[in-house]
Amino acid sequence: MRCAVLGGTGLIGSTIVERLVEDGHEALPHARSTGVDLLTGEGLAPALAGADVVIDATQSPAADDTAAEFFRTATANLLAAAAQAGVRHAVLLSIVGVDRVPDLGYYRAKVLQEGLFRAGPVPYSIVRATQFFEYVDAIMSWTTEGDTVRLPPVPLQPVAAADAARVVADIAAGAPLQGVRDVAGPDVLALDELGALTLTALGAARTVLTDADAGPFATASGGALTAPGGAHLAPTRYRDWLAAAARHRGAHLGEGASETEQ
């Protein structure tokens, strides 16, 4: 099977490519750096030529209200080119909870993108994943002031990018779902608890202050950002992944790298 992975040079996209190749498929990563521009359509035709499946793992340049126009244009160009190329399956990587947090502009934009896939000319599958383990530090950076990180006690159910990529690769290799598959990690943890665990494991000097109004995720109510019933629960636990990350960091520092707070 020949797969074209848009956003294939990023964290999750490159991991999807790796999983597909491990499974014996031909998977080609595409991004602006490889000459494919979704906004203009440049490079799409050759990128999709001969592809059986296209996987959209792209992100908008900004996570605000401008994301809607980005996804509107980029998705229309991608699906039109995929139909023209005879692609039989279009897979979209989306986010658990996009339809349950209407106050977040980026989530509203992803809902719009999902709608375009549903109404598009190519049979589709949508994979919604929870927040990646690898993004927890970036989430903390949004509300960091000096040595203090303000985080709300909002429940999250984060997943390892490698586990999410495994599900995307498996779905890409199968028949189009014409629907949504949710994937999440095995544990639900409050965001402030996630932050504290992360900082402790990495030996960082920052401390977490619980603040129900801090950051964009404060607008999520209840379990909006956790997996709904019937979701695929991945095996990797955050604490285990974090311990491995801390060991890797220690080994890297032992090789002579200068120590900096993560």
Asked if the structure places residue 97 within a domain, the reply is yes
What average pLDDT does this structure show over 171-194? Answer: 97
Res 171: pLDDT: 98
Q: What is the pLDDT of residues 26-66, one digit of tens each?
A: 999 999 999 999 999 999 999 999 999 999 999 998 888 88
| Residue 127's CATH number | 3.40.50.720
The Cα 155–Cα 147 span in angstroms is 23
Asked if the structure places residue 260 within a domain, the reply is no
Q: What is the pLDDT of residues 63-111, one digit of tens each?
A: 888 899 999 999 999 999 999 999 999 999 999 999 999 999 999 999 9
The Cα 127–Cα 142 span in angstroms is 26
Asked if the structure places residue 190 within a domain, the reply is yes
Asked if the structure places residue 77 within a domain, the reply is yes
Q: Which of 165, 164, 225, 166 is nearest to 191 (CA)?
A: 225
Q: How would residue 250 be classed by pLDDT, with cut points 50, 70 and 90?
A: low
Asked if the structure places residue 212 within a domain, the reply is yes
pTM score above 0.85: yes
Asked if the structure places residue 146 within a domain, the reply is yes
Count up the domains in the chain and report the number: 1
Bridge pairing between strands 148-151 and 180-184:
unpaired
Asked if the structure places residue 261 within a domain, the reply is no
Range(s) of the domain holding residue 6: 2-254
Q: DSSP alpha helices (H): ranges in 23-160?
A: 44-48, 67-85, 105-119, 136-141
Asked if the structure places residue 259 within a domain, the reply is no
